[in-house]
Chain A
């Protein structure tokens, strides 16, 4: 045997050490949570000092990962002496499963301090009673948040109830390329969308509603709003109303299908697949939620230069996404400090710049910011969206709240049955 045994042993020992120390399940820190009183904010920061905050966030985008690490890591460390540990997860449902199984096993403290969350994942954890209560509205920076806004104080129609704090905003929009489709010809409603699609056979489609395709679910909900007289009737659950109105939705989508890409036999599974079809001239319209405009997507190489975003005149669902703290978080004080830092006007201004790579909008209401310098920063950030982004007044006019979450499954299941295979 030519290979010396000693280097081999060293390599093995190193490997063993890495396996054992690998991203540990609980990473349980010494002692339980330090005592603090949230009403006394300095006591929160005092308890948080020296802690490591474990933030579970979707990790599939390098741009967003880098944004999180560079935007929140340094100020956390310098201002509060907190270390940021971002745990990239393949899907937010992985964080939900972790917390739910901790509940089953009675693990306290658990492994998760903060989760980037919204929609059905929030509902699941809230139903399981695994979220920290009574904290979001009493953060120092929470005064910058417009808690009266129904799009904000309800998450997919479920009251946020002081159990999550906003991070950023998103709104459904469409993307077009002026060199292919002039602005004057763009559809401005679902009715016009159908007309446009059938006049331009195969040049439009939407994302399949379902897991990973919630932007498609959102697009279909907008159609439901338009066909049934507006969004207000859908913010509460009413099965009879659903049974009455949904056939019209399926009829609209079924009639639309033959005019769509691949005659509606298949649909893109998620937003990125649709972008790819759009970029490669298979279709002429795409969908996005990026309030910061198309620049982030152009920069990432997802869509061609010159692409623009636009909205219909109404029924474009917009909402917020949030951070939440599990009830058994190991470092709640540090999590609170981070949730508060996220609302800092300067950081809010940088997240909404297309160059940040994050691409979503403000979580705070810029008009509530008193400090002139911070206000100027937010205004400059909004201006940096550039001429290709949907004008703010257009976004505001078209804005619609999301529907009750119980419609989510009905739409996704019903769409598969009545539209995808029905026909």
Chain B
């Protein structure tokens, strides 16, 4: 291939990539500040700060931001706490069927969420737990936990257990080994794991709506209703509020993501 040809490929690649990752978000950003922006106007004729003001003064969007943050932070935290022992076992424990067990952890991510969510909705309603945050957080674990376990396991296969042996030989107990050796060494991987679990939880729709009985209203739940266009300005502001926190979470760990080579991916 000639040099100009190669440059052409590069330009096309960047153009596609930019178009895929950035352009739609710019359109959302413009729509969030425009009102009555209709065909054939390429540029909005009327600008507004109503949605920004609405976000500042309370309203459904702000309470949804709060709800989403509480649910997803807790789900991420719980996933990490549960994933650490599981991943240590899978990566360091020399289990006989570690690969098979790992595959087993993939199973919940393959099952259509609609089937699980409808079942959970009925269970939780009967247990008088529907509509509670706790119920929604538990339901989110179906999506976040398998992923947290697998990502952490992948990261820990490169973890050098000799440091722990050294500490054990020097007489450190399990607590000290985990707190003083494992945690500092594995912290980057754990942060990546938490960030991914957070983004996975953040985008859950069915596993929020049905276990929450329609009462735990997170951003995706609100946005799906709003995307019909009753108030495009408000919907776009909502979309931005939904897109930014997970983007921040991923940007915070993006260098480590690359270094780990983890199959970085919110499965849901």
Q: Do chains A and B directly touch (beta carbons under 8 Å) in the complex?
A: yes
Stretch at the interface among A178-186, A298-306, A309-317, A348-356: A298-306
Given A15-B70, A66-B59: A97 and B213 interface contact (C-beta under 8 Å): yes
Min C-beta distance of A294 to chain B, whole Å: 13
Instruction: Collect the chain A residues with CB atoms within 8 Å of residue B209's CB.
Output: 90
CB distance from B215 to the nearest CB of A (A): 6
Q: Are A19 and B230 neighbours in the complex by a CB distance under 8 Å?
A: no
Q: Is A20 an interface residue (CB 8 A)?
A: yes
Chain B residues within an 8 Å CB radius of A20: 134
Question: Given the complex, which residues of B lie within 8 Å of A251, measured CB to CB?
Answer: none
B227-268 CB contact bits vs A (8 Å, 1 = yes)?
011111110000000000000000000000000000000000
Interchain nearest-CB distance for A382 vs B (Å) = 25
Q: Judging by beta carbons under 8 Å apart, are A280 and B217 in contact? A: no
A386 within 8 A of B: no
A19-47: CB near B (< 8 Å → 1, else 0) gives 11011111000000000000000000000
Q: Which of A18, A93, A104 contacts B70 (CB 8 A)?
A: A18
Q: Residue among B59, B125, B222 with the most chain A CB within 10 A?
A: B125
B162 within 8 A of A: no
- Taking the closest CB of chain A, its distance from the CB of B75, in whole angstroms, is 10
A74 close to B (CB within 8 Å) = no
Is A89's CB within 8 Å of the partner chain B?
Answer: yes
Contacts of A90-128 to chain B: CB distance below 8 A: 90-91, 93-95, 97-98, 101-102, 104-105, 107, 111
Pick from A19, A61, A66, A269: contact of B134, CB under 8 Å:
A19
**Taking chain B's interface residues, is the majority helix, strand, or loop, or is none over half, making it mixed?**
helix
Residue contact A23 to B215, C-beta cutoff 8 Å: yes
Residue of B with least CB distance to A88: B217
The residue from B38, B125, B214 contacting A280, defined by CB atoms under 8 A apart: B38
Of A22, A23, A88, A300, chain B has the most CB atoms within 10 Å of the CB of A22
Q: Do A304 and B38 touch (CB < 8 A)?
A: yes
CB of B137 within 8 A of CB of A98, answer no
B70–A276 CB distance below 8 A: no
The answer for the CA separation of A309 and B170 in the assembled complex, in Å, is 84
Q: What residues of chain B lie closer than 8 Å to A240, measured between beta carbons?
A: none
Q: How many residues of B contact A (CB 8 A)?
A: 46
B77 and A305 contacting across the interface, CB-CB below 8 Å: no
Contact B228 A62 (CB under 8 A): no
A221 at the interface (CB under 8 A from B): no
B184 A22 Cβ-Cβ under 8 A:
no
Closest to A104 in B: B126
> Smallest CB-CB separation from A20: which chain B residue?
B134
CA distance A93 to B210 in the complex (A): 11
Q: Give B126 Cβ to nearest chain A Cβ, in Å.
A: 6
- Is the Cβ of B129 less than 8 Å from the Cβ of A25? yes
| B59-A1 in contact (CB<8A) | no
**Can you report 22 residue pairs joining A to B where beta carbons are below 8 Å apart?**
A12-B77, A22-B132, A22-B216, A23-B216, A25-B131, A61-B230, A62-B60, A88-B217, A94-B215, A97-B125, A97-B130, A102-B128, A273-B229, A276-B228, A276-B232, A279-B36, A281-B38, A282-B39, A301-B231, A302-B229, A304-B36, A304-B38
Residues of B participating in the A interface, judged by any CB pair closer than 8 Å: 35-36, 38-40, 48, 54, 59-61, 70, 73-74, 77, 121-122, 125-126, 128-134, 137, 183-184, 187, 209, 213-217, 221-222, 225-226, 228-234
4 residue pairs, one from A and one from B, having the closest CB atoms: A94-B214, A22-B133, A276-B229, A101-B125
Binding site for B on A (CB under 8 A): 1, 12, 15-16, 18-20, 22-26, 59-63, 65-66, 87-91, 93-95, 97-98, 101-102, 104-105, 107, 111, 269-273, 275-276, 279-282, 298, 300-302, 304-305
Inter-chain pairs besides A19-B137, A23-B215, A275-B230, 18 sampled, C-beta below 8 Å: A1-B183, A22-B216, A25-B131, A60-B60, A60-B222, A61-B230, A63-B231, A88-B60, A88-B215, A90-B214, A95-B214, A102-B128, A107-B128, A269-B228, A280-B38, A282-B39, A301-B48, A305-B36
